[in-house]
A and B are shown apart, each in its own frame.
Chain A
């Protein structure tokens, strides 16, 4: 799935780390998801609830906000792209943190896989790939909701789905890499501690201009901020070369995440 990242990850890892068979992990995950599809879709609804509750509820009390080009847009139109980005993030993060941790520490699933010709890069790419598919599916569902609500006003919105896949890929890769450093379920409070404020501050609900300058700088460093800005531009049709910065940001996350995740599987399991 990522012909681009693999050679890089391979160079960081000892030989035999990659059998080119990560799609078998996707097959495994799809087979498992068929047995537990409720759990799979549960995470999709959270951003939809936010859209309805905040967009309708809060939106009726707040007036229009400045859109990407400065012209005013309705509150619901402002938060929808932010929640779209959050959808992609949620699906990817949930799978690449909780699920990966369970398989790594309790189910010893990756030990079983590494006893076959599969290597750590196959496992990392396969699991990250599944998490990205999940994020992508949530984003697709959310896009459908947005379309149904008349919130997609530009043909550029067609690119929102591939963009969501890139965002999900980046969060999944970094999520799996970070999870490999967690020691117990208690450490998951850290994940919440990172995700929750990022969700609130990354211009999801308020424009950047409401924050003091120092906080603006912090927000501009957050990955979700780049995802939200990317989505807001695409769904409203305000597309510029500045967007390549966002894409580059995610490319770096992807390459680092995959490389670190595979390296950590090697260190943790092949000792």
Chain B
């Protein structure tokens, strides 16, 4: 992977006794949108911060834009954009000033950042709020402003740590649309998320992380194909009528038991539903759906992503 923008081998991070990242291999190619999918505490942010050159690695190899973050941190940071998990906009500045001043931190000339800010305000759909303070903005607007800010230096690589966590569906979709646009413009992106739909929507390729290690890697379609069946039958039962998973297991490829429902993995959900009925089980509700990355995670770890 000679032209990989990020290359990690055995990347390792420890905070005192806590092993946050326990040896991961990552390759991100130019132009792709790469994802870290995993539950809270999986080590996604720790990995991102090492790539962003704001957290020294404890062990392993890491190259970003062909350079070593340990030695060339400032030079790498000059060419990447970072959207941290928690917004850290400057509340003492206006929306526009947040962009202009941030650009100045990169050493960009005044005239350049002024023009760039105008362009980015339009991109973030914040032109009307340009001279307002930051604090009264909605969560979605603040997130868009943080993303706009991360673009002020025309980065080759954009790091987005949980870009839509905490946003309502409408704000999320607006944000996704902006990220698509950046992808079309050729900006390489690394995104962390614990939303499987976000990973499916945005990522060309992703790794599933759990407890500091990578448990699977591939495109969303590949992962689903490899670790789940085409369809899932979701059954909810009254507590007294709920059969043991082993009873249903022979009817399908695999059964997962969650507190509130049973998931039956099968190529043909409708047929499985008919067979469950024929076997005399009476669920309160039955739903056939396509498999998702959520099912991949469940199959790999035995747990759900978001609980």
Interface residues of A in 15-52 (CB under 8 A from B): 15-16, 19, 21, 24, 27-28, 31-32, 35-36
| Cβ proximity bits B43-86 to A, threshold 8 Å, 1 near / 0 not | 00000000010111000000000000001111101100010101
In the complex, besides A27-B104, A28-B90, 5 extra interface pairs with C-beta distance below 8 angstroms are A35-B133, A108-B88, A111-B54, A118-B105, A119-B73
For residue A32, give the distance in angstroms from its CB to the closest CB of chain B: 4
User: Known: A28-B101, A112-B88. Is A16-B72 also a contact (CB below 8 A)?
Assistant: yes
Chain B residues contacting A31 (CB-CB under 8 Å) are 93, 97, 101
Q: Which residues of A contact B (CB under 8 A)?
A: 15-16, 19, 21, 24, 27-28, 31-32, 35-36, 107-109, 111-119, 269-271
What are the residues of chain B within 8 A of A28 when measuring CB–CB?
A: 90, 93, 101, 104
Q: Nearest Cβ in chain A — how far from B189, in angstroms?
A: 16
Looking across the interface, which residue of chain A has its beta carbon closest to that of B83? A115
Among B108-128, those with CB < 8 Å from A are none
Residue of A nearest to B13 (CB): A271
B residues near A (Cβ < 8 Å) are 15, 52, 54-56, 71-75, 77-78, 82, 84, 86, 88-94, 97, 101-102, 104-107, 133, 153
- When distances are taken between beta carbons in the complex, the residues of chain B under 8 Å from A271 are 15, 55-56
A109 proximity list for chain B (CB < 8 A): 88, 90
B106 contacts A117, C-beta separation under 8 Å: yes
Within the complex, the shortest CB–CB distance from B161 to chain A, in Å, comes to 11
CA distance A116 to B104 in the complex (A): 10
For A16, the chain B residues whose CB sits under 8 A away are 71-74
Q: Enumerate chain B residues within 8 angstroms of A116, measured Cβ to Cβ.
A: 77-78, 102, 105-106, 153
A178 to B104, CA, bound (A): 28
Cβ of B122 to closest chain A Cβ, rounded Å: 22
> Is the Cβ of A32 less than 8 Å from the Cβ of B84?
no
Across chains A and B, which 5 residue pairs bring their CB atoms closest together, nearest first?
A: A32-B92, A108-B88, A116-B105, A117-B74, A112-B88
Partner of A117 from B75, B92, B94 at Cβ < 8 Å? B75
Q: Report the Cα distance A119→B77, complex, angstroms.
A: 11
Distance (whole angstroms) from the CB of A124 to the closest CB of chain B: 15
Q: Please report the C-alpha to C-alpha distance between residue A107 and residue B78 in the assembled complex, in whole angstroms.
A: 22
A256–B71 CA distance with the chains assembled, in angstroms: 26
The closest CB in chain B to the CB of A266 belongs to: B56
Beta-carbon contact of A270 and B106 below 8 Å: no
